Structures are given as structure tokens and as C-alpha cells.
Amino acid sequence: MIEQRRGRRDGAAQPAADTGSDHVVAAHPNEAGNGRVEVVVVAGAGAPRLELRLLAWGRSVGWYPLRRIALDAQQAQALRRSLLRAERYLGARDAGPEGSGCRIIPFPAPPAAEGDET
């Protein structure tokens, strides 16, 4: 199945499967464009499991796996909760006050002078 990946550096989700029972849910490229993380559902003999795959780009081979992390349902739920908590920290840095969960309290306006209609 490596041939299916060859020449596709555009980040399109393609199976990295060794078996025909993998489903790539998402592929997230890194900023440099030479790596990505795939979220894959692997169906096998037992219950389906989630697998995170770190891929790198090689000019002669295309995308190839560097690491695979298999997660059961409980671990996947715990990872989801952890990522949501971590997003608060990233959002505060990247998205500004609106993404940080902070509440902005405006200062009261000074009283308007008589005859001032602003």
C-alpha cells in the first residue's frame, strides 16, 4: 500500500494501512509540510481501535510511518479530554482574548457633559 501514497505530498488523507480494514479519519500536516499526523480507525478481529500515525515525507518513497500509537476506546476518550484542556492554552496564545475563555469587562464610560450627544 505504500504505492498508494507515493507522489501525494498534498496532504490528502490516504490509507497507511497494512491491511484493507483501516479508515483514515483525518490527516493533519505540520507547518513545514514534510510531516503529518493521521487519525485512523483500525478494524480487526476485536473491537475497532484508534491509531495515531506520525508520517514523514520522503521524495523517493512518499509518505512513510515513523510512529504508530494504538489507543483503545477509553484511552481515546481520555486523549480527547486532554486535547480540549490543552486547546485552552493554545487558544489563549493564538486566538487572543476571545479564544482564551477570558471575560473582558469594559470600563465604564465617563459621564457625558451636558449638550454632548456622543
Q: pLDDT tens digits, residue range 10-52?
A: 544 444 444 558 999 999 999 999 999 999 999 877 888 899 9
Query: Can you list the positions of beta strands (E) in 32-111?
Result: 35-42, 49-58, 62-71
| Whether residue 93 has pLDDT greater than 90 | no
Q: Is residue 109 part of a domain?
A: no
Residue 6 pLDDT class (50, 70, 90 cuts): very low
Is residue 56 scored above 80 in pLDDT? yes
Instruction: Give the whole-angstrom CA distance, residue 3 versus residue 13.
Output: 14
Which set of grid coordinates corresponds to residue 89?
492554552
Identify the domain containing residue 36 by its residue range: 2-92
Which residue from 78, 66, 59 is spatially nearest to 36, judged by alpha carbons? 66
Is 105 domain-assigned?
Answer: no
102, part of any domain: no
